[in-house]
Structure 1
Amino acid sequence: MFIVNDNIKLPEDPGTIVWKYLDLSKFVDLLLYRKLFMSRSDKFEDQYEGTFSEPTFEEIRKLSIDNPNFLDYYKFHRQNVVISSWHINEYESFAMWQIFTQKSEGLAIQSTLGRLQKALHTEKDYEQHIGEVNYIDYKKEYIPFDNAFFPFLFKRKSFQYEREIRIISDMTSYGMKIDNGLKIDVDLSQLIEKIYIHPKSENWYKNLVIELVKRLGFDFIIEKSDLESDILI
């Protein structure tokens, strides 16, 4: 269930284009089970996920002198927050293809912010919040902590190329053990506007994806990435 949070920054235009780059196995898993995987926040490659900048940490440390549980809460909270990451871009990103797909195989799901919001309305049990990530200097800039989601909406400036929008759920109140993450129900017809095939893939790979999508009962628009289109000279 998508919840609007007025404290979380988002692009105003619901038509803002967003992308998810993934390998074929994750794509098939998404279509087969009609569920979107959300990773546990402390399982991301960036060890700073869900942590605070130095100025904020100093403030929290002072507050925790008389209340040690205050600091412990933030340490363990990361284990109960799950995230699905999307990339904001009007066009395909060569860098995202390189980072998130292997060799000449992989796909990109094109969607929009508005589609993401509508796709999450099918999930009745868990609350999802969508926010745009802020990229800051963790040695100098302050991260507010008056909202439990804020630590997960800030990253170091080194990651600015990700231009990330996140779907976030806090599972603390459900008392469940989360290993690597969990899957949530989504409306795939809303979530997926178009599918792009890896720019370096061969025709057999595109045909394989088309056949898989068809056999699983979907009729999404599928195109080969034009990043490797023929030059005109």
Structure 2
Amino acid sequence: MLKMTHRLTTELRRLAFEHHDHCFSCNYKFKEADTSHLGYSQNGEPLYLCDGCSKQLKETAVRYYFKPRPYEIPDPSSKLWRYMDFTKYVALLSSGGLYFASADCFEDTFEGAKGFRRNKSRWDEYYLKFFREAIKSPPEGHECKFSDSEIDEQAHKLLRDMGAVGESRRKQTFISCWHESEYESEAMWRLYSSFLANAVAIRTSCQSLYTALGRNPSIDIGRIKYLDMERSYAGVNDSFWRKRRSFEHEREVRAIFSDFRCQESGKITLCDLNVLIEDVFVSPLAPSWFVALVNDINDKYSIKAKVSPSELVEEPFF
């Protein structure tokens, strides 16, 4: 078996990210705990392979135990919307990038939460048992020499450490939220604009969002799963992809990345705005001159997207 070199180029990381569930060579669908092999061919081509195809590697960068993503990826053509005040739209164009807010700044205090505090005792009981068993059963060739009281102390320490990591990750996780729908939403206009008369919405697709962000393998894009937190918990590694069922109306798709060094409450990530912004719509309550104003702003920043009145202002007949 080849020794791992840990040489992870952007091209290799992107290949593994885009083909996460399948072997790049034979299209084998990975199962949890399978080994995935990342590396390079004789010609230096990046490869992401299963056990059966791993002999194609001249260099093994790293091996992983496969774990499914904690989120579902929308179809590439799925329409995504972002509703905002006009001032935020201008800030988007002038900065040339998307603003990602840290999770601890969101109005929803459950961002990154595992469940209800009143149910935490069941969570603690499960993980204390898990940690005790892990300490008692070290890898082959090692022996557990701790007393029962020492094992219990270590288990409690691991539980406290896990809680501390959960708290700190709220500051280190940065999120951009989108609404997935084929159609404009009257409710989203009202929810995400403080002054509806000067609000705008941009429409993109899942593929365009990913491409506009440079196909960055460090940025995950996927659907939120909504949980009944009275009866279940978010997993340790998927809590930023879980929300309470009371938010199901948002139909949220989010882009997420982690930055352990950033101390700010948000980060602007540069992107290709002409790829990102496929269409622009103005609020159904906007005055008639507002479309021309948004077009002028787009021209100033060389944005080519079409600006249209809201589809909600169409007149009915009876």
**What TM-score, normalized to structure 2?**
0.66
Is this contact kept in 2: 1:122–1:187, CA < 8 A?
no
Which structure is larger by alpha-carbon Rg, 1 or 2? 2
- Which 5+ residue runs of structure 1 have no aligned equivalent? none
Is the deviation greater in 21-30 or in 46-55? 46-55
Q: Is structure 2 residue 85 aligned with structure 1 residue 23?
A: yes
- Aligned counterpart in structure 2 of residue 138 of structure 1, from 207, 211, 229: 229
Return the letter of the residue paired with 1:166. R
Is the deviation greater in 222-231 or in 159-168? 222-231
Is this contact kept in 2: 1:14–1:112, CA < 8 A?
yes
**Equivalents in 2 of 1:34, 1:57: separation in Å?**
46
Return the letter of the residue paired with 1:167. A
Is the deviation greater in 89-98 or in 7-16? 7-16
For residue 311 of structure 2, what is the aligned residue in structure 1? 226
For residue 154 of structure 1, what is the aligned residue in structure 2? 242
**Equivalents in 2 of 1:115, 1:8: separation in Å?**
22
Q: Deviations over 1:135-167 (max 9, x none)?
A: 11111113222x3xx111100000000000000
- Aligned counterpart in structure 2 of residue 163 of structure 1, from 251, 260, 284: 251
**Equivalents in 2 of 1:184, 1:116: separation in Å?**
12
CA offset at residue 60 of structure 1?
4.7
**Equivalents in 2 of 1:39, 1:71: separation in Å?**
22
CA offset at residue 11 of structure 1?
4.1
Is this contact kept in 2: 1:8–1:132, CA < 8 A?
no
Q: Secondary structure at the match of 2:201?
A: strand
For residue 40 of structure 1, what is the aligned residue in structure 2? 102
- Aligned counterpart in structure 2 of residue 127 of structure 1, from 218, 226, 234: 218
Is this contact kept in 1: 2:284–2:309, CA < 8 A?
yes
Q: Secondary structure at the match of 2:254?
A: strand
Q: Secondary structure at the match of 1:203?
A: coil
CA offset at residue 9 of structure 1?
2.6
CA offset at residue 59 of structure 1?
2.6
- Aligned counterpart in structure 1 of residue 299 of structure 2, from 214, 219, 226: 214
Is this contact kept in 1: 2:99–2:269, CA < 8 A?
yes
**Equivalents in 2 of 1:185, 1:35: separation in Å?**
4
The structure whose RCO (Cα within 8 Å, separation 6+) is larger is: 1
For residue 189 of structure 1, what is the aligned residue in structure 2? 274
CA offset at residue 214 of structure 1?
0.8
- Which 5+ residue runs of structure 2 have no aligned equivalent? 1-9, 21-67, 129-154
- Aligned counterpart in structure 1 of residue 209 of structure 2, from 94, 110, 116: 116
The number of equivalent residue pairs is 225
Return the letter of the residue paired with 1:212. I
Q: Is structure 2 residue 87 aligned with structure 1 residue 10?
A: no
Q: Secondary structure at the match of 2:197?
A: coil
For residue 69 of structure 1, what is the aligned residue in structure 2? 161
For residue 185 of structure 2, what is the aligned residue in structure 1? 93
CA offset at residue 176 of structure 1?
2.3
CA offset at residue 12 of structure 1?
4.8
Measured at CA, do residues 210 and 12 of structure 1 come closer, stay the same or move farther in structure 2, by a change above 3 Å?
Answer: closer
CA offset at residue 103 of structure 1?
2.8
For residue 49 of structure 1, what is the aligned residue in structure 2? 111
**Equivalents in 2 of 1:57, 1:44: separation in Å?**
26
CA offset at residue 91 of structure 1?
0.2
Return the letter of the residue paired with 2:262. M
CA offset at residue 24 of structure 1?
0.8
Return the letter of the residue paired with 1:157. R
Return the letter of the residue paired with 1:184. T
**Equivalents in 1 of 2:227, 2:215: separation in Å?**
34
Measured at CA, do residues 60 and 210 of structure 1 come closer, stay the same or move farther in structure 2, by a change above 3 Å?
Answer: farther
CA offset at residue 21 of structure 1?
0.4
**Equivalents in 2 of 1:60, 1:40: separation in Å?**
26
For residue 200 of structure 1, what is the aligned residue in structure 2? 285
Is this contact kept in 2: 1:41–1:78, CA < 8 A?
yes
Is the deviation greater in 110-119 or in 51-60? 51-60
**Equivalents in 2 of 1:30, 1:182: separation in Å?**
12
**Equivalents in 2 of 1:122, 1:129: separation in Å?**
10
**What TM-score, normalized to structure 1?**
0.89
